[in-house]
Structure 1
């Protein structure tokens, strides 16, 4: 039907072109002959015109398309119609001025081009404004950006508004019908034009370059999406690499600026030791410390592979900065090894990040979890006090506040042991940092969701209303460094991270950032399913950062708070350590849970399953 309508329009245009050619030349709309002769001429012309239109397939070009290929179909049809007018005159012996066939071609080209242009734009307006389309700016006015713009112009879901590009040679020019603006004006442009998304179309740029661009755009009030090229999509089936999107885009907030002169002053020219250096937080701590120009960095971890990988990454940086980089294997549960390394490397500051932190794993391995998280922390802290080290900082977690799982409970017990030691330490300042989930760390939902999205789903969420406090790896690491700088002894530092985020919302956001859609459970439409799997053993719907909010003190940084919390007496702490040591010696996992129930507020041991009689 559409082809028939377009064919009719084109044939009417051919007739109008012939009439205009006669009118310009003779002030009449046809040849100056009798009606029968004129009809014969017009009939012959229309037959040849129809054959020309069908032959050059002009009617099969979509009405919504207007580009150079359309002109390449109109142009030969124009020539054919000029010849058709002359041939019809010859065939019917109708006198026609020689300029009329030429004029017919010229008028047909103008009329056909004009009406096709108007028709395409009318359809385009309907597609764009028939529904509320998402408004987008395309970052990159190169070939990939132009391809993306062309594709989006045919879409009713997204409206490309303009380009931005770093190249000053293309700025303030029009590409694919849209103005190219400067990236420096993006914040103003997003607000002025109500932009919903910024699409980065620079597939040939290096990952470092893309990450730098995304980092600069992270404060915009708009979604940031990194788009692969159309060739990559076709040849490799690539989805958008959401690993290039910074974590703060998942949080929906800007990254907290934790830069402070206290950090460099505390660590510059000093010897710093990081336990658990091969982990997500530990490795980032090492990277941040190197920027503070310490005299020595000691990396301590029980994983040979993690330690090797980190040393290979940092060796050249340390060498260039003339920093002594030392990698030492060992476990914090071995007090002799800990004392030996401290005595050998003489650290001024110890940042204790070594711990077992995966809730389901520790829930089923209570003995090792308590051994590492509690006694391991005590071993390192005692060694630090014995050596007269200046500062010791424990990396803790929000799961330590009224915990419902063994991981959180053992971290709370580690805090209590440290708080007790801080009351008797005259030289070493012992403190702890308590923060929420760290996006991008090995235990966070982000790597899990990324793998699930890349494999086509489903994305698993434990409960639709489960919430967590989130921060980025750099935020967590800088907070630990600042805590070391602010420590007065026995402090609990927390970061004001705003409101907790729903895990379900982060899952949805990651799916949408991957260029896909969430599957509707009712209609089945969409790409990736979000599957609710139920809370795991010991998991809470929400986490807390403070046991009590009554004793909060300010620090030099407005978003970092110092909490003064109650803790066990020296006698109670000694009893806790003594009983725990005995239970670890006897591998008594039930005894450990009972001990935790007695000493840790909020924890309740699960009901033991009855052992069937033999």
Structure 2
């Protein structure tokens, strides 16, 4: 019923009706002006004003139609509408003065001549009455609309300029009735003051009792340049009270420079990872990729597809996409075509297919290769080391070898922090791939081989956050392998910025890593996600400890034993200085591993990996016995 009422009163009044009402107001004002000028005398002769009225209405119609003062949406009347009405009333007075001059000069009917006093009084009455009528209607409309809507009591955290903008946005919104009960501000000079009769309190003053007594449901954070630590503090406090926590987006993201209610979004878990997002602005990237042919393997995956999207923002000659996942590759292609990205060529193919890879390299002659094709799921690769070797090592070798054969300028490989002192097959195979391209860089004489290494990527396929969201939606429990497990996190765009940046600044042989801030305790992450869902731990959603999976670490590292770092021009990016080894001998061992990769003898496969990566010590795995031997 309330939705029906809102729909009924939300319809715009026809412009013709607005014009008719305005003309009626002018007509009444014109008659009333005679009463004012004659001091409300009872002997007033009304014959003359009624004869003049049609003449005045015609001139009024001309002035209002000329300036269109009746076209504004009355329920949204603001300063511009007020100026429009004032201009129309002024034009009416001017036209009446001009008409007076013409009538007198050419000796037309003198009965239509209005006195200067009459025109001035009419001007004042029209200005007051027309503007007042607009705002009166607006007030009535707002009152009726708000009665038809459910009220949501909110707190605005921030009493500065951004906080007042949020308040104004909530007040003028017609689809939701949000009542601001108070402002919170950390500036002691603002506490005790009011904004439009609404109190400004300190954070400490607003406790659970305050929230419950005023039935507050939401907190909107309206602070510019808010630190991650402060955001975490605010959200933890109010989420614990059962409130929804929302954030105002950066001003640069506002539509048409105005804040809209639908832009104020609920805070998400990515905002609460206690790390500052990394921004890379390097003009050399455009110079590096402009006019070049770029090949991206694994182009349908989370990382590969974002690399492609970012590359298409530059003036690449062509971007070649390779992936064996047909449906996902099709989705990426269609998404880019919708955005008018036409310099694309897609291949449904496996990087282990030498014949097809040779054809792609020979046909397109790429200048830069971004190699993102890999198997990445730790438990699956622990159970399938044969496949891990085939794709993570064998596939990398094929693409790297063709890069040398066809004189590719740069080869950039996407690696993982699980390659550091690996405890599982997946991480170990990625470490072997790092060693192979590092060796190729040393003994080759053309392609520059570069590695990027980073932690867990938020929102990528198989990452922990989508899993937890699904488990919460299903009613729980959330499954966690260990209460003390920690991980580094970064967003997909950040990860891909790193990869593209590495391609522009790398000279060959480097392993680029990010300063990813503090690692995140996954137990804390799970609890925050439960709170963000409006539920309580453990009463609504429990967390079940399942034990570490085969090959899984409690914590991840970004540097191998024997590695140290060198700084770069960006304070968040470092270069790992790898330990030296016999590169030609390492390549022979890797080629032997690929040749002897046996689907019937996993122990032999993993044993050969351990010979190449001596720091590979299996954890919680059937391959632990190989370390004892």
Q: TM-score range by the shorter chain?
A: 0.5 to 0.7
Aligned partners of 2:580 and 2:598: how far apart in 1?
26
Shift of 1:600: 0.9
| In 2, Cα distance between equivalents of 1:459 and 1:490 | 41
Q: For residues 180-209 of structure 1, what are the alpha-carbon distances to aligned partners after superposition, in whole Å with 9 as ceiling and x for unaligned?
A: 899xxxx999x984389999979xxxxxxx
Alpha-carbon distance change, 472 to 246 in structure 1, aligned in 2, over 3 angstroms: farther
| Distance in structure 2 (CA, Å) of the matches to 1:569 and 1:245 | 51
Residue 336 of structure 2 corresponds to residue 314 of structure 1: yes
Q: Secondary structure at the match of 1:291?
A: coil
Q: Of residues 325, 348, 371 in structure 2, which corresponds to 1:352? A: 371
| Aligned-pair CA distance for 1:571 | 3.3
Q: Does 1:377 align with 2:389?
A: no
Give the whole-Å Cα distance in 2 for the aligned partners of 1:504 and 1:609.
Answer: 27
Residue 446 of structure 1, aligned match among 461, 465, 471: 465
Tell me, yes or no, if structure 1 residue 194 matches structure 2 residue 203. yes
Change (3 A) 1:448 1:317: same
What secondary structure, in the 3-state scheme, does the structure 1 residue paired with 2:571 have? coil
- Deviation (angstroms), 1:514: 1.1
What pairs up with 1:522-561 in 2 under 5 angstroms?
526-548=539-561, 551-561=564-574
Q: Describe the shift of the 1:176–1:244 C-alpha distance in structure 2 as closer, same or farther (beyond 3 A).
A: closer
Q: Which runs of 5+ in 2 are unaligned?
A: 1-144, 247-264
State how far apart, in whole Å, the 2-side matches of 1:445 and 1:601 are. 29
Residue of structure 2 equivalent to 1:113: none
SS at match of 2:347: strand
TM-aligned CA distance change 1:175 to 1:469, over 3 Å:
closer
- Match of 1:274, SS state, is strand
Which SS does the other structure have where 1:361 is aligned? helix
What is the 5 A alignment of 1:216-235? 221=231, 222-223=234-235
Residue number among 446, 461, 464 corresponding to 2:480 in the alignment: 461
For the structure 1 residues 143 and 370, does the alpha-carbon distance in structure 2 shift closer, same or farther, using more than 3 Å as the test? farther
Q: Counterparts in 2 of 1:130-209, with a 5 A limit?
A: 147-149=151-153, 166=166, 168=168, 176=179, 178=181, 193-194=202-203
The alignment's C-alpha RMSD in Å is 4.0
For the residues of structure 1 that align with 2:425 and 2:328, how far apart are their CA atoms? 25
- State whether residues 461 and 531 of structure 1, in contact with CA within 8 Å, keep that contact through their aligned partners in structure 2: yes
Contact 2:275 2:516 in 1 (8 A): no
Contact 1:466 1:542 in 2 (8 A): yes
SS of structure 1 residue aligned to 2:597: helix
Deviates more, 1:292-301 or 1:575-584: 575-584
- CA contact 1:318–1:324 (8 Å) conserved in 2: no
Q: Deviations over 1:46-93 (max 9, x none)?
A: xxxxxxxxxxxxxxxxxxxxxxxxxxxxxxxxxxxxxxxxxxxxxxxx
Q: Give the Å deviation of 1:569.
A: 1.8
Q: What residue is the counterpart of 2:108 in the other structure?
A: none
Q: Number of paired residues? A: 429
| Secondary structure at the counterpart of residue 223 of structure 1 | helix
* Equivalent-residue separation in structure 2 for 1:549 and 1:585 (angstroms): 31
Distance in 1 of aligned mates of 2:172 and 2:338: 43
Provide TM-score, normalisation by structure 2: 0.61
The separation in 1 between residues aligned to 2:467 and 2:178, in whole angstroms, is: 40
Listed as ranges, the gaps of 5+ residues in structure 1 are 1-140, 153-158, 203-209, 230-242, 520-525
Question: Is 1:491 equivalent to 2:510 in the alignment?
Answer: yes
Rounded to whole Å, the distance in 2 between the matches of 1:500 and 1:406 is 23
Q: Distance in 2 between matches of 1:161 and 1:328?
A: 52
Does the aligned pair in 2 maintain the 1:171–1:180 contact within 8 Å?
Answer: no
- 1:412 CA drift (Å): 0.3
Which position in structure 1 is the counterpart of 2:584? 571
**Could you list the per-position Cα deviations for residues 310-343 of structure 1 after superposition, in whole angstroms to 9, with x for gaps in the alignment?**
1011113244xxx411111111111221121122
Paired position in structure 2 for 1:36: none
Does residue 1:253 correspond to 2:257, yes or no? Answer: no
Give the 3 Å change call, closer, same or farther, for CA 423–357 of structure 1 in structure 2. same
Identify the range of structure 1 (340-349 vs 370-379) with the bigger mean alpha-carbon deviation. 340-349
Quote the Cα distance in structure 2 between the aligned partners of 1:144 and 1:251. Answer: 39
1:21 corresponds to: none
1:288-307 aligned at under 5 Å gives the runs 288-307=310-329
* Residue 343 of structure 1: aligned partner: 362
Go from structure 1 to structure 2 and tell me whether the alpha carbon gap of 1:490 and 1:192 turns closer, same or farther (over 3 Å shift): farther
Deviation for aligned residue 1:580: 1.1
Moved more, 215-224 or 527-536: 215-224
1:149–1:176: 8 Å Cα contact kept in structure 2?
A: yes
| Mapped partners of 2:178, 2:599: distance in 1 | 74
Distance of 2:394 and 2:515 partners within structure 1: 29
Q: Which runs of 4+ in 1 moved over 4 A?
A: 141-146, 159-175, 179-182, 195-202, 213-220, 224-229, 243-247, 605-610
Aligned to 2:595: 582
Q: Distance in 2 between matches of 1:160 and 1:227?
A: 13
Going from structure 1 to structure 2, the CA distance change for 1:180 and 1:412 (only over 3 Å counts) comes to same
